[in-house]
Amino acid sequence: MGLRDKMLSLIDSSALQAKNLVDTINDTFGKINFDNHLSYLAEKRDSLIERGNSLMKDFGDLLKQVKDSFTDFSVTVPFDEEAGETLEYSVEGDKLTVEVKFQDDNTVRENKTVVMIPENCDTSKINKTLNKVTKTAVISIPKKVDNKKEETVQRPARPQRDRRNQPRGKGGRFVKKD
Please list the rounded mean pLDDT of every run of 10 residues in the chain (178 residues): 81 89 86 83 90 78 70 87 90 90 88 87 88 89 70 66 72 74
What pLDDT does 88 receive? 93
What pLDDT does 101 receive? 92
What pLDDT does 89 receive? 92
Separation of alpha carbons 141 and 85, rounded Å: 23
What pLDDT does 71 receive? 80
Does the predicted model carry a pTM greater than 0.75?
A: no
What pLDDT does 150 receive? 47
